[in-house]
Amino acid sequence: MAGLKEFISNFYWQMGVDLGSSHIGIYLKGKGIVVDEPSQVVRLKKKKGGQSRFLVFGQKAKETVSREPKLIEVVSPVKKGVVVDLEAAEALAGNYLKLIFEIPSGYPRLLKPRAIVAVSSQISEVQRRAYVSVFNNAGAGEVILVDSGVAGALGSGYNLDESGGLLMVDIGGSKTEISLVSMGGLVIGRCLELGGDNFDEAIINYVKMKYGLLIGKNSAEKLKIGDGGIVRGRDLEHSLPKSLRVSGSEIQEAVAFLVNKIVRTVGGILDEMPTEMTEDILKRGIVLIGGTAQMVEIAKVIEEETKISTVVVDEPTQAVIRGCGVLLEDPGLLKRVKTINNR
């Protein structure tokens, strides 16, 4: 029976998916990460026959932000870890699944793909069904939901078969998820409704109030990741283009309140965690993943406040999708990981 299942699996793609508010990652079994793009889509505001028309996806859509004409809008289908626009989410997933079907393979892919989708541990039953619906309607067959904290730990190179605990802090586009994981499951989880978008907005407001310069979201993001730099925008006093340099210390000042909220939540989980895990956390430290984890000072502030070693993994934006890949390549491990579908 196992041999028959393995043979049949040659006729459909097995994929891992990380669909967040800022990016979508797709991992194909045997091929690695094949999609790593922003998760924005551009569509016409006016519907035709009750249906929306989607124009571009991914990086091209992100580059349109703050530049779009009045006839179109840039949409992020996922916000704060939940699907907020089903139609746009299905169009986004369908676009990339269509591209995947065109990838050459040794066997014809006659059956619907199987998808392992990383989602927040805090989502409700309705939200879980929404994720399953998105990928079913986009062309997937079986959809398995796994905890993004567990996937992020696996993608960061940690072995969850051991009984020791690991504290993950995933700072995404519109949420921050803090997960204490052990043996393939979640022990304690907290979700803050703040992320990279809030950091960008804080930087925009700071530059506006201090320098009277209006900058766009993409410019704020570059300042955030680059720990300052030269930025160009519109001078509010003279309505003319203007450039100035913003220092790293100013960026830290702009986002200090948001960083402190994350630090307080991390401290709360450390207070609640079982005492048996204290040694594990002290030994392994706190692990940061997600795009905003690349900010220079975040790891430093968390380490100073908690007195626990805090590290940012290599390529933190890909940690969760790499973890989905680990589960795909090791079916035995997937069976041991606690999936969210069966709650």
- Residue 169 identity: V
- State residue 45's pLDDT score: 87
Count helices and strands in the chain by DSSP H and E runs: 12, 18
pLDDT in tens, 89-133: 999 999 999 988 888 777 677 788 999 999 988 888 899 999 999
User: Rounded to whole angstroms, what are the CA distances from 65 to 25, 61, 69, 146?
Assistant: 20, 7, 10, 31
Distance CA 292, CA 287 (A): 13
pLDDT in tens, 252-306: 999 999 999 999 999 999 999 888 888 889 988 999 999 888 886 889 999 999 9
Could you tell me which CATH number the domain at 13-151+319-336 has? 3.30.420.40
Residue of 12, 3, 15 lying closest to 328 (CA atoms) = 15
pLDDT in tens, 57-101: 999 988 888 777 888 999 999 998 889 999 999 999 999 999 888
User: What DSSP character marks residue 231?
Assistant: E
Instruction: Using DSSP bridges, classify how beta strands 72-75 and 41-44 pair: parallel, antiparallel or unpaired.
Output: antiparallel
Domain boundaries, the chain: 13-151+319-336, 162-312
Is there a shared CATH topology between the 13-151+319-336 domain and the 162-312 domain?
yes
- State residue 341's pLDDT score: 56
Strands (E), the chain: 14-19, 23-28, 32-38, 41-44, 54-57, 72-75, 78-79, 82-83, 114-119, 143-147, 166-171, 176-182, 185-192, 213-214, 229-235, 240-246, 286-289, 310-312
- State residue 330's pLDDT score: 87
- State residue 81's pLDDT score: 85
Q: Which residues have CB under 8 Å from 118's CB, separation 6+?
A: 16, 17, 18, 145, 146, 147, 148, 151, 152, 320, 321, 323, 324
- State residue 8's pLDDT score: 75
- Both tokens of 208, joined, read 């506006």
Using only the alpha carbons of the chain, give its radius of gyration. 21
- State residue 296's pLDDT score: 67
Distance CA 193, CA 85 (A): 18
Homologous superfamily (CATH) for 162-312: ATPase, nucleotide binding domain (3.30.420.40)
Q: Which residues have CB under 8 Å from 44's CB, separation 6+?
A: 52, 53, 55, 71, 72
pLDDT-based confidence at residue 6 (cuts at 50, 70, 90):
low
By three-state DSSP, how is residue 337 classified?
coil
Distance CA 161, CA 154 (A): 10
pLDDT in tens, 130-161: 999 999 999 898 999 999 988 999 999 888 76
